[in-house]
Amino acid sequence: MPYQELNIQTKMARISDAINDIYQYNNDICELPRVCNQSTGKAAQDLIQAHRISFEQVGFGLSINRVGTIGILVIEPKEAHDFLMQVDGTKSEYQKTLGELANSVERSVSWLSSSIKGDSLESWVIGLDDVVTRFEHMGLMDNVLGARQLVDAARGGYLSEQLLIDTTGILKPHSHIEEWHKNNRPKPLYDRWMMALDVLADISTNPAAIPLSRIVSKKFELALGNFEKDLAIWKIKGVPYPDAPWGQYQGVARLVRGDFEETLESFEINK
C-alpha cells in the first residue's frame, strides 16, 4: 500500500518504531566517546534508508550530526504541520513520539543555519510557527520553548543574535555563569567574562535585539553581583584556589565591572 494511503495510526506506529531504533543506535554508538567521535559508516546510512520514507512523507527527515549520531529534523514545515493536525495529541501512546518530534524543531534551525543565512533563513524559521503552535496546543510547550524563541526572534528581526546566544549557551542553565568565579583561576575567569561581554556587544549592535540584550545583561548583573559578594567573603576565608591571590580576583572583578558598565552605556541597553 502506498505510504500516503496509510492511516494515521499506522504512520505514527512506524515513526515510533523508527525513533526507538534511532535511540538504540545513538545509545550504542555513544557508549564510548572514542566510538561516538568516529565517522559513521554503513550502519547509520542503512538505518536512515530504512526509515527515511516514514519521516519524509510527513515533512520530517533524518540527518547524521558531526559526532555520528542520527537526529530528526523538520524538512518541510507545511507538510509537518498538516501531518500533526491529523494526530490526536491527547492519546497517551503518542506522547513519547510527539515529544521527540517536538524536540526536533529547534535542532532543525541550528542545522539549517549552517547552510542558509539572512532573509532566507528568517523566512524558513517563521514558517515553523504553525508547527510550533501545534505542538504547544498538544501540551508540549517545554519541548518547543527554544523553537518558539527562535520563531519570535525571526519575526522580530534578531534571529542571528538569538542563534549566537543559543550557540554560546550563555542563557542556558548549564552555563553556570554565576559559578564561574568559583571554578576558575583569575586568568581563565577573565577570559570567559571577556568572551561573554563580546557576545553582549555583538548582539547589541542590532537595535531590534536590545530586548534580548536586556535579558542577557540582567543575567550578567546577577552573576557579577555574586562574584563581588563572594570577594568580600574570600578576603576573610580565602579564595577557591590558594595559589591565586585574592587581589587578582579583585582585579578581574573590577575590570569586568568596568567593561560591563561601558557596554551597557555604549549601546544604551538599559534605557
pLDDT of residue 158: 97
pLDDT of residue 41: 63
pLDDT of 30 higher than 80: no
> Is the CA virtual torsion 135, 137, 141, 146 positive or negative?
positive
pLDDT of residue 1: 66
Q: 93, 97, 101, 32: which is closest to 71 by C-alpha? A: 101
pLDDT of residue 20: 95
Q: What are the tens digits of pLDDT across the range 71-98?
A: 999 999 999 999 999 999 888 889 999 9
Q: What are the tens digits of pLDDT across the range 126-172?
A: 999 999 999 999 999 999 999 999 999 999 999 999 999 999 999 98
Q: Under the phi-then-psi rule, with left for phi > 0, alpha for psi from -120 to 50, and beta for the rest, what region is 68?
A: left
Amino acid letter, residue 203: I
Average pLDDT, the chain: 91
Long-range CB contacts (within 8 A, 24+) of 215-219:
215/171, 216/165, 216/170, 216/171, 217/260, 217/264, 217/269, 217/270, 219/170, 219/171, 219/177
pLDDT of residue 145: 96
Long-range CB contacts (within 8 A, 24+) of 195-199:
195/168, 196/168, 196/170, 196/220, 197/256, 197/259, 197/260, 197/263, 199/164, 199/165, 199/168, 199/170
Residues with Cβ within 8 Å of residue 25, at least 6 apart in sequence: 43, 44, 47, 69, 70
pLDDT of 232 higher than 90: yes
> Of 25-34, 148-157, 259-268, where does mean pLDDT reach its minimum?
25-34
List b or e across 211-231, with b for residues whose CB sees 16 or more CB atoms inside 10 angstroms: ebbeebbebbeebbebbeebb
Q: What are the tens digits of pLDDT across the range 41-78?
A: 678 889 999 999 999 999 999 998 877 889 999 999 99
pLDDT of 36 higher than 80: no
pLDDT of residue 32: 52
Cell numbers found for residue 113: 543555519
pLDDT of residue 173: 84
Q: What are the tens digits of pLDDT across the range 173-207?
A: 889 999 999 999 999 999 999 999 999 999 999 99
CA distance 121 to 116: 6
Q: 13, 11, 17, 71: which is closest to 44 by C-alpha? A: 71
